[in-house]
Structure 1
Amino acid sequence: MLKRLDKTQKKWGGSNSLIDQWLNNRRNLLVNYCQIAGLPPYDPIENTLPTFGSIKAFCDLLMDYVSEGHFEIFDQVVTACEKNGTSSQALAQKLVPRISETTDTALDFNDKYTESADDNVLYHLDKDLSSLGHAMETRFELEDKLLEVLHTKYS
């Protein structure tokens, strides 16, 4: 996911402050995800699960990223698409509900790992991080399609 982000930043970075902010926040989220999941370049500490504090910090970033998309960026993109013709508007109307499906996965993860301090919940962390990772990858692909519209029409 980080390699894909690098390509996305090379393609659209620097062309629009909104895009730059969005991609920077995505990078922070991905780096934190890799750290708690023990993915390269971050090695897991052998036989040790992440702390609730580190998971909570990740959940905070995740909720900030999801909220920013839904309450700031998507609204601006959809509004801009409405102004620039039916094809852009149709794309936005198609993509935003699909992105919302990934939001549900993020919210479920957040609820599970911020509402409980029970150590037993951590035994599901690898499986839950894997599911969340798939949802995030899908989300980023869909968001990149919105970025393409934003970049093409407004940069």
Structure 2
Amino acid sequence: MLERCKTAQERWGGVHEIIDRWLRYRKALVEAFVALREVGEYTPTDTPKVQAFCELLVDYVSTGHFEVYEQLALEAKEFHDDTALACLHKLMPEIAVNTSILLEFNDKYDTKEHCNKQLADLPFSLQAVGVLMEERFVYEDQLIEELHEAHSEQSA
């Protein structure tokens, strides 16, 4: 997952400042996820790590929804790029479902009390979140790639 994150930043970093920042958020999110998964047996002392991951997760998802996707749509409209808009309309429902499930994870583990009550479930929840993050990154990379390709061709 971390390698995929590096590859995305190499391919699309510089396309736009918002996307660059977002890809840095993605990298931080993946690193926090990997560190959390490596803990093994979770105890209440791990709660701050879980909460920090939840905060990164919500920040990443929020930045996508309230900054990046909007910017991608605006750019596609500006370039009269029906293909990119179609891709956006196709993938946004998938991303929305993904977002709902990720936010359920956050709600389950976002506070010390919530987290400590659910520690036994954490390994399974993290496994599911890992799958969701991978799925989300594929969707997002498709959006960025579609937009980047269209703009590169029109700018040339």
Q: Check whether the contact 1:13–1:19 (CA below 8 A) recurs between aligned residues.
A: yes
Cα deviation for residue 28 of structure 1 reads: 0.3
Size of the aligned set, in residue pairs, is: 149
Pick the structure with more helix per residue.
2
> Judging changes above 3 Å, is the alpha-carbon distance between structure 1 residues 154 and 17 closer, same or farther for their aligned structure 2 residues?
farther
Percent identity, aligned pairs only?
36
Cα deviation for residue 70 of structure 1 reads: 0.4
Q: Which moved more, 1:121-130 or 1:11-20?
A: 11-20
Cα deviation for residue 73 of structure 1 reads: 0.6
Cα deviation for residue 19 of structure 1 reads: 2.1
Task: Give the TM-score, by structure 1 length.
Answer: 0.87
Q: Check whether the contact 1:82–1:89 (CA below 8 A) recurs between aligned residues.
A: yes
Q: Check whether the contact 2:36–2:49 (CA below 8 A) recurs between aligned residues.
A: yes
| The one of 57, 77, 90 aligned to 2:86 | 90
CA RMSD of aligned residues (A): 1.8
For residues 142 and 54 of structure 2, the distance between their equivalents in structure 1, rounded to whole angstroms, comes to: 25
For residues 9 and 59 of structure 1, the distance between their equivalents in structure 2, rounded to whole angstroms, comes to: 22
Cα deviation for residue 58 of structure 1 reads: 0.6
Unaligned runs of 5+ in 1: 39-43
Cα deviation for residue 35 of structure 1 reads: 0.8
Alignment correspondent of 1:2: 2
For residues 51 and 76 of structure 1, the distance between their equivalents in structure 2, rounded to whole angstroms, comes to: 36
Task: Give the TM-score, by structure 2 length.
Answer: 0.86
Alignment correspondent of 2:95: 99
Cα deviation for residue 51 of structure 1 reads: 1.6
Cα deviation for residue 85 of structure 1 reads: 2.7
Unaligned runs of 5+ in 2: none
Alignment correspondent of 1:19: 19
Q: Check whether the contact 1:2–1:27 (CA below 8 A) recurs between aligned residues.
A: yes
- Which gives a bigger RCO, structure 1 or 2 (Cα 8 Å, sep 6+)? 2
> Judging changes above 3 Å, is the alpha-carbon distance between structure 1 residues 69 and 10 closer, same or farther for their aligned structure 2 residues?
same
| 2:146 is aligned with 1:149 | yes
Matches for 1:1-155 after TM superposition, within 5 Å: 1-38=1-38, 44=39, 47-49=41-43, 51-83=46-78, 84-115=80-111, 117=113, 119-154=116-151
Cα deviation for residue 65 of structure 1 reads: 0.3
Cα deviation for residue 48 of structure 1 reads: 4.3
For residues 85 and 8 of structure 1, the distance between their equivalents in structure 2, rounded to whole angstroms, comes to: 22
